[in-house]
Structure 1
C-alpha cells in the first residue's frame, strides 16, 4: 500500500494505491460547483454486457482469485457476474448475496456521520481537534476537516511494525480504538497540519472516537441508526470489536505471505510468485482475522448490492443532501502519492468520473464508485488480496470495466 512517500506499509493503506491506480489509468474529471461536470473521456457511455462479463472473468482468472463478483448499474439496467468459489478448493459458487469485508470503504461511512453532525450544528469542520481530544499532537492546529481530508500530518498507526507483528501473531486480538489512536499519536507527525497529505488511518479512528463522544453512544449504533437503517442497508454491519465472524453467506478471504513480510512490497518475490502461479504455493485463510484493528477506518461488512446502494447514496446525497453534499463532492483535491492524479476529499475519493472509495483488508479487496452525471455504478469485490503480483484485484478489474464503459 502506498503512502505519500511511495512506500507500502500496512494493509489499510491499500485504498489510496487503488485510487492512484485507477486515476492514473483514467483522466480524472474537473471539479465544479454543485454536481461535477463530466470529464472529457466520460462524454459518452457505452455498455456491452457480454464484453463487461468477459473482461471481468478474464481478469479474475489472471489475478488468481478464488472468487470475485461485479455489479454495473446504468439507466439501461443492471449487469452482474460472479466468478469462482467462496472457499479455495471448494465447490460453493460465489453469489451476489455473499458478505465480505469492505475495508476502507468504511471511511466514507464514518466521514458521512461526521458531516451529518456538522449539518446538525453539533460540530464544525473548522473545530480544532484539541476541543475533543487534548492528547493529539498539534491538536490546537488540526481541524476536523483536515482529519477528513488526510491533511492533519498525524502518523498512520497501520504503518508500524508493532501493529503488523501483532496482526500476524495475535490474529484474534480485539483492539480497543483508544489503543489504535495511541499507536498513531505516539509516532512523530509527518508534517505540520495542512502542509501535506498522507493517508493515515489514525485520522479516521479519531473521527470515530469524536463521533462517539458527541453522540454518547457506540459507533456501531451510530452507523446503524444514521445510515444502515434509514437507507435500508440490511446486509451491512459494523461488528463489535470482539466479533471476527461474517454473516452467512460469506466468502472466505485469502492472502499470500503475512503482514510483516509484505510491509515493503505487495508483490511476492520472483521464486514465490512462480510457485503461486504454478499452484504449489497456496495463500493462507484470513477470514477470521479480527478486523477491529481497522475499526472506524475499515472494519465494515457488506454485500455487493448493499455497497452499490451505499455508494449511490454517497454520490446523490441520500445520506447527506443539501449544500453540504454539494460541497463534499467538490472537496476532492489532487494528492501527491506515488501515482499521479489521485483526488481525495471529505472521506471520499474522486476516481475518474466516479465518486467512491476502495478498501482492502488481508484477504479482501473491494471497489465502489458512482457517476452522478451518467448514473453509472461500479462495484467489484475479490477474495484474495493483494494478488500474488501485488496488484489490488478488485480495483484492477474496476479499471478495466471503467475503460470498457467510458473508453480510454
Structure 2
C-alpha cells in the first residue's frame, strides 16, 4: 500500500496515531495525519443515523414499507425501512452490475444521479424475498438517502452537516458533491480495476507500490467522481473526526436509548465463523462497533468497543492490494490480534 494513517485510543493509554508511507507517489511526500480521505461505506453510518433520527422524530417508522416513499421499488410494499438499513431487503446491489463497473473504469469522472443508480438495480431480480437473507447492497442506502431528502426537503450533504458533523465538532468531514477533495488530502490509488474487483483476482508478480507506480501501476484515481456511491459511500473525513464519530456511533450519542437499541439489533452477515454481524447501518467486528469502507483509491475502518472504550481508526490510500485484499481491513485485523486479542478459552 502507498500510505496509511492508524490511530488507537484507549482510556488507559490515551491516543496513539501514526502515519506510514506516502500520500503522493509522484513526489514521495509522506502521508499526514491531517489528510482528508474518502471513507467509502462508513458513509452508511451517517445516512443510517439521519434515518434513525427521523424515526425518533416520528417522521417514519422502521416498519414502514419503502413503497410508501418510493413506489417504483420492486416488491416495495413488502420491504421495510428496517430491512434497507439491515441489508435484508434482497434488492440487487447496482455496484455488482458488470456494465456499471465498466462505465466507472472507462469514464471515472462521469457524474451519476441516484435515480440512475436505482434504475440499474431495479433492472435485476432480487437476491431473495424481503427478509429472506442478508446481502450487502448499496441500493438500500441510496434509497434511504432519497427518503431522508424527501422527508426533510434538504440535500443529504446538508443533513450530514447539520445533524452529525456540526453537533460532534467534525469540522473536516463532508459528503462529497463533486470529485474535488479538501486540502490537505492523500492521493488515492488502485491496482485493480472496478471490473476486475468483481472477482478480486490474485495478481501475480506485483512489487512494492513505489516501483509499480513508476510503471503506471497503481493508478492515481484521486479525482474519480464519487457520485456513484452517494449516500452509500461518498463521504470524506479525517482521522481526528473519525475518532469523534466512532464512540458517538457506537453509544448512540445522537439518538435516544430506545432507537439506539434498535440500531444495535444484529443479524449474521455471513455463515463464516467469526464473521461480522450487521445492525442498522452498523457492523459488529468482535465487539468493535463501526464500519469499513472501500471505493477507488481508498479503504477505511472505524470502530469503538463500548466495553473497553477503545477506538480504532485506519485510513489507507489504496482500495485493494494486488492480491485483492482490503488493506485497511488487513491492518485492522493485525491491530485486533496484537493489541486487543480475544481472551483464550
| 1:275/1:281 contact within 8 Å kept | no
Name the SS of the counterpart of 1:104 in structure 2: helix
Q: Contact 2:200 / 2:324 at 8 angstroms: preserved in 1? A: yes
Pairing 1:319–2:254 present: yes
Residue-by-residue CA offset, 1:299-328 (whole Å, 9 max, x unaligned):
000001101211110012212132111332
- Shift in Å at residue 347 of structure 1? 0.3
Q: Is 2:193 the counterpart of 1:258?
A: yes
The answer to whether the 8 A contact 2:274-2:286 is kept is: no
After superposition, the Cα gap between the structure-2 partners of 1:142 and 1:370, relative to the gap in structure 1 and judged at 3 Å, is same
Match of 2:37 in 1: 100
Question: Secondary structure at 2:195's aligned position in 1?
Answer: coil
Distance 1:139 1:207, change over 3 A: same
Return the structure number with greater strand share. Answer: 2
Mapping of residues 132-281 of structure 1, within 5 Å: 132-240=69-177, 243-268=178-203, 270-271=204-205, 273=206, 279=212
CA distance in 2, matches of 1:390, 1:277: 18
Structure number with higher relative contact order (C-alpha < 8 Å, ≥ 6 residues apart): 1
* In structure 1, C-alpha distance between the alignment counterparts of 2:180 and 2:95, rounded to whole Å: 22
> What residue is the counterpart of 1:33 in the other structure?
none
Q: Could you tell me how far 1:274 is from its partner in structure 2?
A: 5.7
Confirm whether residue 306 of structure 1 aligns to residue 241 of structure 2: yes
Over the residues paired in the alignment, what is the CA RMSD in angstroms?
A: 1.6
| CA pair 391-97 structure 1, distance change in 2 beyond 3 A | same
* Selected match of 1:359 from 293, 297, 303: 293
TM-score by length of 2: 0.94
From the superposition, tell whether residues 285 and 123 of structure 1 become closer, same or farther in structure 2 (CA, over 3 Å): same
Report the number of matched residues.
339
**Deviations 1:86-122 (Å, cap 9, x if unpaired)?**
1014232211110000000000000010000000000
Change (3 A) 1:308 1:266: farther
1:267·1:387 contact (CA, 8 Å) conserved in 2? no
Conservation of the 8 A alpha-carbon contact between 2:275 and 2:285: no
Q: CA–CA distance in 1 between the matches of 2:256 and 2:15?
A: 25
- Structure 1 stretches lacking a partner, 5+ long: 1-64
Equivalent in 272, 287, 290 of residue 222 of structure 2: 287
Counterpart pick for 1:72 among 2, 5, 8: 8
